[in-house]
Amino acid sequence: MPESRVPRRRRYLVCEPRHFAVQYAINPWMRPDQHVDVSLAQTQWQTLISAYRAHGHTVETVEPVPGLPDMVFAANAAVVVDGRVFGSLFHSPERRPESHPYDTWFKSAGYDVYRPESVSEGEGDFVPAGRWVLAGTGFRTTREAHREAQEFFGVPVIGLTLVDPYFYHLDTALFVLDDHNIAYYPEAFSPGSREVLARLYPDAVIATREDAMTFGLNSVSDGHHVFISPGATALAEELTRHGYVPVPVDLSEFHKAGGGIKCCTQEIR
């Protein structure tokens, strides 16, 4: 029998997709000629926010800025550990202006914000995981940013190399279930990184490529409930077998920009 899982109340920062669009291509999912239904995106996003609140979580919002269509992907703007904010320096020039409104929000909320000198894309590539921070590189965030984050937070930062362009951010290939375990798709990582993950998490939930391609690993867990893409059916079954409760939320309109549930969700720790 799976062990009992206990949810923990979370605080999330999000940004309404008022200006969401696919206006450029900076990952394999994006095609500027593809129609985006903004009304549907708004509805799907609101369903996610309602699901968070229904499960007892606090949701706060950043005001969207015209001309920043990817600002809805709040996770990329920063990573927060123990109340310390490590900001972003986006790889793509199109997204760099997003850093300012998020920095402003954190500062107005009383946080000091560290501005990285190296390319760093927030929780897209930095995943706090209990005693350490898992950190992706290969497509966006650099190894130099990993070193900066370790010096700033004073906690071990474990670098993992991504090798499949469809999983260009760590949060598309892996998510934290609780302080002790993760779910991930091994083939998204280099051989050495797969070995590291296998050593750190021998009981990890392993996802298939099919589930990863439906953004099943771009999920959010509160330690018991897992807010997950409804297309990731095999992964949902595996999570259930491990004692977690999948909460399907359809954010398929955001998949057109290479994002999903976690991309839209910044956790304030």
- Cβ pair 83, 114 in contact under 8 A: no
Q: Which of 146, 255, 263, 264 is catalytic?
A: 263
* Straight-line distance from the first to the last Cα atom of the chain, in angstroms, rounded to the nearest whole number: 31
Q: Which of 169, 225, 255, 264 is catalytic?
A: 169
Phi, psi angles (nearest 5°) of residue 123: -70, -5
Q: Please say if 225 is a catalytic residue.
A: no
- Cβ pair 215, 255 in contact under 8 A: yes
Q: Please say if 180 is a catalytic residue.
A: no
Separation between Cα atoms, residue 267 and residue 13, nearest integer Å: 6
Where in the sequence numbering do the catalytic residues fall?
A: 169, 263
